[in-house]
Amino acid sequence: MRRHVAVPALQGNLEDLVVWFANSTWYGPAGTDRHMAEALSRHTPVLYVEPPVSVLTALRNPAFAATLAERPRLEVLGPRLARAVTRVQPGMHRPVVQRLTRPLVERGTRAAVRKLYGRTGTVAGIVSCRVTPLWRVLPARRRLFFVTDDLPAGAELLGESRERLLRDEARTMRGADAVAVVSPGLRDRYGEQGHQAELVPNGCLPEAYTEVEQAPTPADVDLPGPVAGFVGHLNHRIDLELLEAVAATGASLLLVGPAVPGYRTERFEALCARPNVRWVGAKPFDELPGYLRLMRTGLLPYADTAFNRASFPLKTLEYLAAGRSVVATPLPANEWLGTSLITEASGPAAFAAATTAALATPPSDELAVRRRKFAAGHSWERRAAMLAGLLGVSARASTS
Protein backbone atom coordinates (compact mmCIF):
# COMPACT_ATOMS: atom_id res chain seq x y z
CA MET A 1 0.00 0.00 0.00
CA ARG A 2 1.27 3.47 -0.88
CA ARG A 3 2.11 5.61 2.12
CA HIS A 4 0.67 9.12 2.22
CA VAL A 5 3.30 11.54 3.41
CA ALA A 6 3.49 15.31 3.59
CA VAL A 7 5.18 16.90 0.58
CA PRO A 8 7.82 19.50 1.49
CA ALA A 9 7.82 22.77 -0.37
CA LEU A 10 10.40 23.61 -3.00
CA GLN A 11 12.87 26.45 -2.51
CA GLY A 12 11.94 29.49 -4.51
CA ASN A 13 8.61 31.11 -5.29
CA LEU A 14 5.75 29.83 -7.40
CA GLU A 15 6.49 32.65 -9.83
CA ASP A 16 9.97 31.13 -10.38
CA LEU A 17 8.69 27.59 -11.08
CA VAL A 18 9.32 25.84 -14.39
CA VAL A 19 6.89 22.99 -15.17
CA TRP A 20 8.73 20.42 -17.31
CA PHE A 21 6.58 17.99 -19.32
CA ALA A 22 9.00 15.13 -19.95
CA ASN A 23 8.98 12.34 -22.50
CA SER A 24 10.64 9.89 -20.12
CA THR A 25 10.25 8.73 -16.54
CA TRP A 26 12.64 9.95 -13.86
CA TYR A 27 13.45 6.45 -12.61
CA GLY A 28 15.11 4.63 -15.48
CA PRO A 29 17.99 5.27 -17.88
CA ALA A 30 18.85 8.96 -17.55
CA GLY A 31 18.09 10.84 -20.76
CA THR A 32 17.95 14.41 -22.01
CA ASP A 33 14.83 15.30 -20.00
CA ARG A 34 16.23 14.21 -16.67
CA HIS A 35 19.72 15.65 -17.13
CA MET A 36 18.45 19.00 -18.39
CA ALA A 37 15.74 19.39 -15.75
CA GLU A 38 18.19 18.53 -12.99
CA ALA A 39 20.72 21.09 -14.26
CA LEU A 40 18.00 23.71 -14.73
CA SER A 41 16.92 23.23 -11.11
CA ARG A 42 20.20 24.88 -10.09
CA HIS A 43 18.80 28.07 -11.63
CA THR A 44 15.15 27.86 -10.59
CA PRO A 45 12.62 25.39 -9.09
CA VAL A 46 11.49 22.68 -11.51
CA LEU A 47 8.51 20.30 -11.43
CA TYR A 48 9.34 17.30 -13.64
CA VAL A 49 6.06 15.84 -14.94
CA GLU A 50 6.51 12.28 -16.18
CA PRO A 51 4.47 10.81 -19.04
CA PRO A 52 1.09 9.56 -17.80
CA VAL A 53 0.78 5.88 -16.87
CA SER A 54 -2.09 3.42 -16.86
CA VAL A 55 -2.64 -0.09 -15.52
CA LEU A 56 -1.52 -1.46 -18.89
CA THR A 57 1.74 0.51 -18.68
CA ALA A 58 2.55 -1.25 -15.44
CA LEU A 59 1.52 -4.69 -16.73
CA ARG A 60 3.80 -4.37 -19.77
CA ASN A 61 6.75 -3.31 -17.66
CA PRO A 62 6.91 -5.14 -14.30
CA ALA A 63 10.12 -3.38 -13.26
CA PHE A 64 8.50 0.00 -13.84
CA ALA A 65 5.38 -1.16 -11.97
CA ALA A 66 7.51 -2.00 -8.94
CA THR A 67 9.15 1.42 -9.01
CA LEU A 68 5.77 3.11 -9.39
CA ALA A 69 4.39 1.22 -6.40
CA GLU A 70 7.34 2.23 -4.23
CA ARG A 71 7.27 5.91 -5.16
CA PRO A 72 4.60 8.52 -4.40
CA ARG A 73 2.90 10.26 -7.29
CA LEU A 74 4.52 13.49 -6.12
CA GLU A 75 7.90 13.69 -4.44
CA VAL A 76 10.56 16.29 -3.83
CA LEU A 77 13.93 15.10 -5.15
CA GLY A 78 16.04 18.09 -4.16
CA PRO A 79 15.83 21.67 -2.87
CA ARG A 80 14.44 22.92 -6.19
CA LEU A 81 13.37 19.72 -7.95
CA ALA A 82 10.20 17.63 -7.74
CA ARG A 83 8.64 14.92 -9.91
CA ALA A 84 4.99 14.08 -10.50
CA VAL A 85 3.17 11.37 -12.42
CA THR A 86 -0.50 11.11 -13.41
CA ARG A 87 -2.53 7.91 -13.57
CA VAL A 88 -4.84 7.71 -16.59
CA GLN A 89 -7.13 5.20 -18.24
CA PRO A 90 -5.74 2.47 -20.56
CA GLY A 91 -5.54 3.22 -24.28
CA MET A 92 -4.22 6.75 -23.72
CA HIS A 93 -2.85 6.99 -27.31
CA ARG A 94 -6.12 6.07 -29.01
CA PRO A 95 -7.82 9.07 -30.65
CA VAL A 96 -10.98 9.03 -28.48
CA VAL A 97 -9.25 8.24 -25.19
CA GLN A 98 -6.46 10.71 -25.92
CA ARG A 99 -8.91 13.59 -25.67
CA LEU A 100 -9.60 12.52 -22.09
CA THR A 101 -5.94 11.99 -21.18
CA ARG A 102 -4.79 15.58 -21.60
CA PRO A 103 -7.30 17.07 -19.11
CA LEU A 104 -6.27 14.43 -16.56
CA VAL A 105 -2.60 15.35 -16.99
CA GLU A 106 -3.41 19.05 -16.68
CA ARG A 107 -5.51 18.50 -13.57
CA GLY A 108 -2.86 16.27 -11.99
CA THR A 109 -0.16 18.85 -12.69
CA ARG A 110 -2.18 21.67 -11.14
CA ALA A 111 -2.82 19.47 -8.09
CA ALA A 112 0.93 18.83 -7.75
CA VAL A 113 1.70 22.56 -7.93
CA ARG A 114 -0.97 23.24 -5.32
CA LYS A 115 0.55 20.67 -2.95
CA LEU A 116 4.03 22.15 -3.40
CA TYR A 117 3.08 25.81 -3.02
CA GLY A 118 -0.35 25.84 -1.41
CA ARG A 119 -1.82 27.56 -4.45
CA THR A 120 -1.67 27.81 -8.24
CA GLY A 121 -0.94 30.87 -10.33
CA THR A 122 1.41 32.21 -12.97
CA VAL A 123 4.68 30.29 -13.24
CA ALA A 124 7.98 31.32 -14.81
CA GLY A 125 7.72 28.87 -17.64
CA ILE A 126 6.39 25.68 -19.13
CA VAL A 127 8.80 23.44 -21.02
CA SER A 128 7.18 20.70 -23.07
CA CYS A 129 9.13 17.91 -24.73
CA ARG A 130 5.86 16.39 -25.94
CA VAL A 131 3.98 17.06 -29.15
CA THR A 132 0.65 17.05 -27.32
CA PRO A 133 -0.31 20.69 -26.56
CA LEU A 134 -0.21 21.29 -22.79
CA TRP A 135 0.17 25.07 -22.61
CA ARG A 136 -3.14 25.73 -20.88
CA VAL A 137 -2.23 23.80 -17.73
CA LEU A 138 -1.16 27.03 -15.96
CA PRO A 139 -0.55 30.64 -16.96
CA ALA A 140 3.16 31.06 -17.71
CA ARG A 141 5.42 33.95 -18.67
CA ARG A 142 7.24 31.77 -21.24
CA ARG A 143 6.24 28.59 -23.08
CA LEU A 144 9.13 26.63 -24.58
CA PHE A 145 8.73 23.67 -26.92
CA PHE A 146 11.92 21.62 -26.45
CA VAL A 147 12.27 19.00 -29.19
CA THR A 148 14.61 16.12 -28.33
CA ASP A 149 13.65 13.75 -31.17
CA ASP A 150 11.99 13.91 -34.58
CA LEU A 151 8.92 12.00 -33.44
CA PRO A 152 7.04 12.15 -36.77
CA ALA A 153 10.09 10.63 -38.49
CA GLY A 154 10.04 7.81 -35.93
CA ALA A 155 6.27 7.28 -35.99
CA GLU A 156 6.51 3.71 -37.31
CA LEU A 157 9.16 2.83 -34.74
CA LEU A 158 6.99 4.31 -31.99
CA GLY A 159 3.83 2.64 -33.25
CA GLU A 160 2.02 5.97 -33.66
CA SER A 161 0.30 7.85 -36.48
CA ARG A 162 2.67 10.18 -38.32
CA GLU A 163 -0.23 12.39 -39.41
CA ARG A 164 -1.45 12.80 -35.84
CA LEU A 165 2.05 13.56 -34.57
CA LEU A 166 2.49 16.22 -37.25
CA ARG A 167 -0.86 17.80 -36.39
CA ASP A 168 -0.10 17.86 -32.67
CA GLU A 169 3.39 19.19 -33.30
CA ALA A 170 2.01 22.07 -35.39
CA ARG A 171 -0.52 22.96 -32.67
CA THR A 172 2.15 22.85 -29.98
CA MET A 173 4.46 25.09 -32.00
CA ARG A 174 1.69 27.64 -32.55
CA GLY A 175 1.23 27.96 -28.79
CA ALA A 176 4.95 28.21 -27.96
CA ASP A 177 6.84 31.45 -27.33
CA ALA A 178 10.10 29.77 -28.33
CA VAL A 179 11.33 26.50 -29.81
CA ALA A 180 14.59 24.75 -28.89
CA VAL A 181 16.00 21.62 -30.53
CA VAL A 182 18.85 19.26 -29.66
CA SER A 183 20.27 18.68 -33.14
CA PRO A 184 21.22 20.55 -36.33
CA GLY A 185 18.92 18.23 -38.28
CA LEU A 186 15.89 19.31 -36.27
CA ARG A 187 16.87 22.97 -36.56
CA ASP A 188 17.13 22.62 -40.34
CA ARG A 189 13.81 20.79 -40.59
CA TYR A 190 11.94 23.52 -38.71
CA GLY A 191 13.82 26.21 -40.61
CA GLU A 192 12.56 24.78 -43.90
CA GLN A 193 9.03 25.12 -42.48
CA GLY A 194 9.61 28.76 -41.58
CA HIS A 195 10.09 28.24 -37.83
CA GLN A 196 13.08 29.61 -35.97
CA ALA A 197 14.50 27.09 -33.52
CA GLU A 198 17.38 27.61 -31.10
CA LEU A 199 19.98 24.84 -31.04
CA VAL A 200 20.46 23.55 -27.48
CA PRO A 201 22.31 20.23 -27.95
CA ASN A 202 22.60 17.40 -25.50
CA GLY A 203 25.42 17.61 -22.99
CA CYS A 204 27.19 15.44 -20.47
CA LEU A 205 28.05 15.27 -16.78
CA PRO A 206 31.87 15.45 -16.82
CA GLU A 207 32.20 15.05 -13.05
CA ALA A 208 30.48 11.65 -13.20
CA TYR A 209 33.50 10.22 -15.02
CA THR A 210 36.48 11.92 -13.36
CA GLU A 211 37.21 8.79 -11.30
CA VAL A 212 36.38 6.25 -14.02
CA GLU A 213 39.79 4.55 -13.71
CA GLN A 214 39.12 3.93 -10.01
CA ALA A 215 35.50 2.81 -10.44
CA PRO A 216 34.63 -0.64 -9.06
CA THR A 217 35.10 -3.36 -11.67
CA PRO A 218 31.74 -5.01 -12.50
CA ALA A 219 31.50 -8.64 -11.48
CA ASP A 220 29.30 -9.64 -14.44
CA VAL A 221 31.91 -9.04 -17.16
CA ASP A 222 34.84 -11.40 -17.82
CA LEU A 223 35.95 -10.24 -21.27
CA PRO A 224 39.67 -9.95 -22.06
CA GLY A 225 40.87 -6.49 -23.06
CA PRO A 226 40.88 -4.38 -25.04
CA VAL A 227 37.10 -4.03 -25.03
CA ALA A 228 34.79 -2.16 -27.41
CA GLY A 229 31.46 -1.27 -25.84
CA PHE A 230 28.05 0.19 -26.45
CA VAL A 231 26.02 1.89 -23.70
CA GLY A 232 22.39 2.78 -24.35
CA HIS A 233 19.03 1.44 -25.44
CA LEU A 234 19.23 -1.58 -27.74
CA ASN A 235 16.38 -1.02 -30.15
CA HIS A 236 15.76 -0.62 -33.86
CA ARG A 237 17.76 2.60 -33.92
CA ILE A 238 20.86 0.44 -33.50
CA ASP A 239 22.25 -1.30 -36.60
CA LEU A 240 22.73 -4.87 -35.45
CA GLU A 241 24.82 -5.65 -38.52
CA LEU A 242 27.51 -3.23 -37.31
CA LEU A 243 27.72 -4.94 -33.93
CA GLU A 244 27.87 -8.33 -35.63
CA ALA A 245 30.75 -7.10 -37.81
CA VAL A 246 32.70 -5.94 -34.74
CA ALA A 247 32.10 -9.25 -32.99
CA ALA A 248 33.18 -11.16 -36.12
CA THR A 249 36.68 -9.65 -35.80
CA GLY A 250 37.09 -11.50 -32.51
CA ALA A 251 37.22 -8.28 -30.50
CA SER A 252 35.67 -8.26 -27.03
CA LEU A 253 32.28 -6.56 -27.26
CA LEU A 254 30.38 -5.31 -24.20
CA LEU A 255 26.72 -4.22 -24.48
CA VAL A 256 25.20 -2.23 -21.60
CA GLY A 257 21.56 -1.23 -21.69
CA PRO A 258 17.99 -2.49 -21.97
CA ALA A 259 16.84 -4.30 -25.12
CA VAL A 260 13.28 -3.74 -26.30
CA PRO A 261 11.33 -6.98 -26.90
CA GLY A 262 11.23 -6.48 -30.67
CA TYR A 263 15.01 -6.20 -30.82
CA ARG A 264 15.58 -9.44 -28.95
CA THR A 265 15.30 -11.64 -32.01
CA GLU A 266 17.14 -14.91 -32.61
CA ARG A 267 19.77 -12.85 -34.39
CA PHE A 268 20.38 -10.66 -31.34
CA GLU A 269 20.43 -13.68 -29.06
CA ALA A 270 22.99 -15.32 -31.38
CA LEU A 271 25.20 -12.24 -31.13
CA CYS A 272 25.04 -12.29 -27.34
CA ALA A 273 25.84 -16.02 -27.32
CA ARG A 274 29.25 -15.45 -28.91
CA PRO A 275 32.10 -16.11 -26.46
CA ASN A 276 33.57 -12.63 -27.07
CA VAL A 277 30.27 -10.76 -26.44
CA ARG A 278 28.61 -9.86 -23.13
CA TRP A 279 25.23 -8.20 -22.72
CA VAL A 280 24.64 -7.12 -19.12
CA GLY A 281 21.27 -5.39 -19.51
CA ALA A 282 20.22 -2.06 -18.03
CA LYS A 283 22.38 -0.51 -15.32
CA PRO A 284 21.83 2.53 -13.04
CA PHE A 285 23.59 5.71 -14.14
CA ASP A 286 25.94 5.68 -11.15
CA GLU A 287 27.22 2.22 -12.13
CA LEU A 288 28.13 3.18 -15.70
CA PRO A 289 31.68 4.39 -14.85
CA GLY A 290 32.58 0.83 -13.85
CA TYR A 291 31.54 -0.51 -17.26
CA LEU A 292 33.23 2.35 -19.09
CA ARG A 293 36.40 1.55 -17.17
CA LEU A 294 36.49 -1.79 -18.98
CA MET A 295 36.14 -0.17 -22.42
CA ARG A 296 38.90 1.26 -24.55
CA THR A 297 36.47 2.32 -27.30
CA GLY A 298 32.85 3.45 -27.16
CA LEU A 299 30.60 2.59 -30.11
CA LEU A 300 27.68 4.48 -31.65
CA PRO A 301 26.34 2.02 -34.28
CA TYR A 302 23.27 3.97 -35.39
CA ALA A 303 21.20 2.92 -38.39
CA ASP A 304 20.99 5.46 -41.21
CA THR A 305 17.42 6.71 -40.76
CA ALA A 306 15.75 10.13 -40.75
CA PHE A 307 14.93 9.65 -37.05
CA ASN A 308 18.60 9.00 -36.18
CA ARG A 309 19.91 11.80 -38.39
CA ALA A 310 17.82 14.23 -36.33
CA SER A 311 19.18 12.88 -33.04
CA PHE A 312 22.07 13.91 -30.81
CA PRO A 313 23.30 10.74 -29.05
CA LEU A 314 24.05 11.25 -25.36
CA LYS A 315 26.79 8.66 -25.29
CA THR A 316 29.10 10.50 -27.70
CA LEU A 317 30.03 13.05 -25.07
CA GLU A 318 29.84 10.55 -22.20
CA TYR A 319 32.42 8.30 -23.87
CA LEU A 320 34.69 11.31 -24.34
CA ALA A 321 34.11 12.47 -20.75
CA ALA A 322 35.36 9.03 -19.66
CA GLY A 323 38.48 9.50 -21.81
CA ARG A 324 37.49 6.79 -24.29
CA SER A 325 37.92 6.78 -28.06
CA VAL A 326 34.71 6.91 -30.10
CA VAL A 327 33.72 5.11 -33.30
CA ALA A 328 30.38 6.29 -34.71
CA THR A 329 28.28 6.17 -37.82
CA PRO A 330 28.01 9.58 -39.58
CA LEU A 331 25.51 11.97 -38.02
CA PRO A 332 24.96 15.74 -38.37
CA ALA A 333 25.43 15.97 -34.59
CA ASN A 334 28.99 14.65 -34.95
CA GLU A 335 29.69 17.22 -37.67
CA TRP A 336 28.40 19.98 -35.39
CA LEU A 337 30.74 18.88 -32.61
CA GLY A 338 33.55 19.37 -35.11
CA THR A 339 36.28 17.29 -33.50
CA SER A 340 38.78 14.71 -34.72
CA LEU A 341 38.23 12.85 -31.44
CA ILE A 342 35.27 11.04 -33.07
CA THR A 343 36.00 8.49 -35.82
CA GLU A 344 33.14 8.05 -38.28
CA ALA A 345 32.62 4.94 -40.41
CA SER A 346 29.76 3.74 -42.61
CA GLY A 347 28.89 0.13 -43.33
CA PRO A 348 29.80 -3.07 -41.45
CA ALA A 349 33.30 -3.56 -42.92
CA ALA A 350 34.41 0.04 -42.39
CA PHE A 351 32.85 0.22 -38.93
CA ALA A 352 34.56 -2.99 -37.83
CA ALA A 353 37.89 -1.83 -39.28
CA ALA A 354 37.65 1.52 -37.47
CA THR A 355 36.87 -0.26 -34.22
CA THR A 356 39.81 -2.62 -34.69
CA ALA A 357 42.13 0.35 -35.28
CA ALA A 358 40.80 2.18 -32.22
CA LEU A 359 41.29 -0.89 -30.03
CA ALA A 360 44.84 -1.31 -31.33
CA THR A 361 45.75 2.23 -30.28
CA PRO A 362 47.38 2.08 -26.83
CA PRO A 363 45.81 4.23 -24.09
CA SER A 364 47.31 7.70 -23.94
CA ASP A 365 47.09 10.10 -21.00
CA GLU A 366 47.43 13.02 -23.40
CA LEU A 367 44.53 11.81 -25.56
CA ALA A 368 42.38 11.07 -22.51
CA VAL A 369 42.94 14.60 -21.21
CA ARG A 370 41.99 16.07 -24.61
CA ARG A 371 38.80 14.02 -24.72
CA ARG A 372 37.78 14.98 -21.20
CA LYS A 373 38.54 18.63 -21.78
CA PHE A 374 36.44 18.63 -24.95
CA ALA A 375 33.50 16.97 -23.16
CA ALA A 376 33.75 19.44 -20.27
CA GLY A 377 32.98 22.23 -22.72
CA HIS A 378 29.61 20.57 -23.42
CA SER A 379 28.27 20.09 -19.89
CA TRP A 380 24.60 19.92 -18.96
CA GLU A 381 25.19 22.99 -16.81
CA ARG A 382 26.09 25.00 -19.91
CA ARG A 383 23.11 23.62 -21.81
CA ALA A 384 20.74 24.42 -18.94
CA ALA A 385 22.05 28.00 -18.85
CA MET A 386 21.02 28.30 -22.52
CA LEU A 387 17.50 27.09 -21.70
CA ALA A 388 17.32 29.40 -18.70
CA GLY A 389 18.05 32.29 -21.05
CA LEU A 390 15.26 31.22 -23.42
CA LEU A 391 12.87 31.00 -20.46
CA GLY A 392 13.94 34.38 -19.09
CA VAL A 393 14.86 32.85 -15.72
CA SER A 394 16.51 35.60 -13.71
CA ALA A 395 19.45 35.56 -11.31
CA ARG A 396 16.94 36.40 -8.58
CA ALA A 397 15.38 32.95 -8.98
CA SER A 398 18.72 31.18 -8.55
CA THR A 399 19.43 32.91 -5.25
CA SER A 400 16.00 32.78 -3.62
Predicted local distance difference test score (pLDDT) of residue 115: 94
- Same structural domain for residues 183 and 219? no
- Same structural domain for residues 157 and 215? no
- Same structural domain for residues 162 and 303? no
Residue 1 lies in a domain: no
- Same structural domain for residues 44 and 163? yes
- Same structural domain for residues 128 and 238? no
- Same structural domain for residues 130 and 273? no
Residue 265 lies in a domain: yes
| pLDDT for residue 66 is more than 70 | no
- Same structural domain for residues 310 and 231? yes
Residue 8 lies in a domain: no
Residue 57 lies in a domain: yes
Q: What is the mean pLDDT of the chain?
A: 89
Residue 4 lies in a domain: no
Residue 6 lies in a domain: no
| pLDDT range class, residue 299, cuts 50, 70, 90 | very high
Residue 9 lies in a domain: no
Distance CA(108)–CA(49), nearest Å, equals 9
| pLDDT for residue 100 is more than 80 | no
Domain that holds residue 315: 206-376
- Counting the structural domains of the chain, the total is 2
Residue 3 lies in a domain: no
- Same structural domain for residues 317 and 239? yes
- Same structural domain for residues 70 and 150? yes
pTM of the predicted protein model: 0.87
Range name among 64-78, 158-172, 178-192, 340-354 with the lowest pLDDT average: 64-78
Predicted local distance difference test score (pLDDT) of residue 3: 45
* CATH label of the domain that carries residue 176: 3.40.50.2000
- Same structural domain for residues 103 and 158? yes
- Same structural domain for residues 199 and 211? no
- Same structural domain for residues 252 and 333? yes
| pLDDT for residue 260 is more than 90 | no
